[in-house]
Amino acid sequence: MSGLHLSASLAPDARRCAEALAPQLERVAAAVPAATVLVGLPDPPEWGAIAARFAGCVLVPLLGPDRPTAAHAGPLRAAGALVAVAGDELQHLASLGTLPPVVMTDLPAPPAHAAAGVLAQVGRPEVDAAAWAWQAVHGPLPDDGPAVVWATGRGAAPLCTLRCAAADRAAVVVLPGCADRERLAAGGCLVAGSVAEAVEITALLRAAPALHDAVTRRIRNAAAVTPRDVLESVLEAAVLASGA
């Protein structure tokens, strides 16, 4: 079986990034005979249904927002090669034992979506804590006005959030506990040392349009990764997976 396939387990931001890359990844699958590219680390139930179809594939896990468990090791070990996009993601992959060859790459920004208000993955403890602190001072989370994204999670999730924010002209505030904080700061994000600080930074960004514009400009400039960069990395992984 060859071609490009997106896992049902992809988080929303990761799916946006994967869909933006689809044309380039399909070119890889077409260029290398019998190459199969699977994007997204399948959850164990999903993997049980598709395992036979994806043995030896190029797997782009896009891990996150949580750590993978031993139950996720099956697709990682069955892959012919892996493509990782974050150092934190690579550490988690390595924690699951012996892996196939790994190629590192980056992610470009996907096409823009309309974005406004404070955007966050409600239901995660660190996000719920920030939302509670915001509500205590400012009332309900706004859904209009300048867009500010709260970045959280591990693996590739924070990077996917950053790339989507770059496309949507949203500022990014990194919550405590988020992985790859130095990389996110280098990408133009504002890193909060506490939940209270995250709320203060968010309020300031929304109240100061010039500051919001400056931050979003930095994020867009730092996201100057072309789809071709990823195409070359995945092509390298496809060659490794094929044993050519």
Strand 171-174 and strand 190-191: pairing?
parallel
CA distance 21 to 96: 27
103 SS3 class: strand
Tens-binned pLDDT, residue by residue, of the chain (244 aa): 468 889 998 989 999 999 988 888 888 877 787 788 999 989 888 888 888 888 889 999 998 888 888 888 888 889 999 999 887 888 888 888 778 999 998 888 899 998 999 998 777 889 999 999 999 999 999 999 999 999 998 889 899 999 999 999 999 999 998 988 888 999 999 999 999 999 999 999 999 999 999 999 999 988 877 767 788 888 899 889 887 5
Beta carbons of 80 and 240 less than 8 angstroms apart: yes
pLDDT at 1: 47
What confidence score (pLDDT) does residue 146 get? 95
- What is the Cα–Cα distance from 142 to 80, expressed in whole angstroms? 45
Give the separation between CA 234 and CA 1, rounded to whole angstroms.
Answer: 17
H or E element in which residue 236 lies: helix 227-242
CA-to-CA distance for 37 and 6, rounded, in angstroms? Answer: 8
| Domain 3-107+226-242 listed as CATH 1.10.287 | no
pLDDT at site 66: 82
| Nearest CA among 166, 117, 54 for reference residue 158 | 166
Residue 2 has a pLDDT of: 61
Provide φ and ψ at 134, rounded to 5°. -65, -45
Q: What is the domain partition of the chain in residue ranges?
A: 3-107+226-242, 118-222
- What is the predicted pLDDT for the residue at 244? 52
Strand partners, 47: none
Q: Which residue's structure tokens are 């949580």?
A: 66
